[in-house]
Amino acid sequence: GAVVSQHPSWVICKSGTSVKIECRSLDFQATTMFWYRQFPKQSLMLMATSNEGSKATYEQGVEKDKFLINHASLTLSTLTVTSAHPEDSSFYICSAGEGDGTYEQYFGPGTRLTVT
Amino acid sequence: GDSVTQMEGPVTLSEEAFLTINCTYTATGYPSLFWYVQYPGEGLQLLLKATKADDKGSNKGFEATYRKETTSFHLEKGSVQVSDSAVYFCAPSSGNTPLVFGKGTRLSVIA
């Protein structure tokens, strides 16, 4: 099956710094990727839809200037958490679909961000 | 838009017990239906899927049947193992759109 990777798998950063998380579709092209965040013992919350070659679409309540999304190629989307604060500590997960009509989404392994 | 109502946990079972996790959905048209599993500290993995009415998805001893008349996709396993302990998510999808997740069902299997 299709594979989605994320890098890094975990990161610790200091408050006020920025962190970039990469999401790659390894063996298929994805015009659309999705970014979620997950707090401990909670479900996934959709943050934004990343569109190749155009601006991302953010869900209500998600600060687009804080969570910068870039989808520069058909296999790579990046999420940059700018001026991170401890409340941004979370598990970030991306997904992508092949668009083959089955509507299956393939999920990355997630990135655990801890802001100190 | 699509939505899902999933049996809330946590569910605690003894090894070899029978498992049912209920899931009902609302969606426009004919969605595909998915069960994903999340093991501790990991991302989501597809467990099984069904793309049309009356289809049965199965994998690793788990099964779920696409019931259009009751808009349900209940997950079952005849004999759970400790290694099945995880969080299970049901999700419908009507296109290349983000999946809509319920709260998930946390399953703990004890030996």
Cβ–Cβ of A107/B43 closer than 8 Å? yes
Q: State mean pLDDT over A67-96.
A: 95
pLDDT at residue number B3 = 86
Pairing relationship of beta strands A10-13 and A111-115 according to DSSP bridges: parallel
Chain B CB contacts of A34 under 8 Å are 98-99
Tokens of B71: 């808009």
For B64-106, how does the pLDDT look when each residue is reduced to its tens digit (9 = 90+)? 999 999 999 999 999 999 999 999 999 998 877 788 888 899 9
* CB < 8 Å & 24+ apart, contacts of A47-56: A47/A79, A49/B98, A50/A23, A50/A77, A50/A94, A52/A77
Residues across chain A: 116
What is the percent of chain A where pLDDT is above 90?
A: 75
Chain B CB contacts of A32 under 8 Å are 96
DSSP state of B88: E
Tokens of A107: 């999920």
Q: What does the alpha-carbon distance between residue A4 and residue A92 come to, in Å, rounded to a whole number?
A: 13
Q: State mean pLDDT over B24-31.
A: 86
Q: Does B7 touch chain A (CB under 8 A)?
A: no
pLDDT at residue number A102 = 65
pLDDT(B60) > 90? yes
Q: State mean pLDDT over A74-85.
A: 96
Shortest CA gap A15–chain B (Å): 23
Q: What does the alpha-carbon distance between residue B15 and residue A32 come to, in Å, rounded to a whole number?
A: 41
Chain B CB contacts of A33 under 8 Å are none
Mean pLDDT for chain B?
Answer: 92
Cα angle value B89/A24/A68 (rounded, 5°): 85
For A41-58, how does the pLDDT look when each residue is reduced to its tens digit (9 = 90+)? 888 999 999 988 889 999
pLDDT at residue number A84 = 97
Q: Is the dihedral of CA B53, B39, B105, B25 positive or negative?
A: negative
Instruction: Report the chain B residue with the minimal C-alpha distance to residue A32.
Output: B96
pLDDT at residue number A100 = 66
What is the percent of chain B where pLDDT is above 90?
A: 74
CB A66 within 8 A of CB A83: yes
Cβ–Cβ of B98/A104 closer than 8 Å? no
Chain B CB contacts of A103 under 8 Å are 31-32, 93-97
Q: What does the alpha-carbon distance between residue B27 and residue B97 come to, in Å, rounded to a whole number?
A: 13
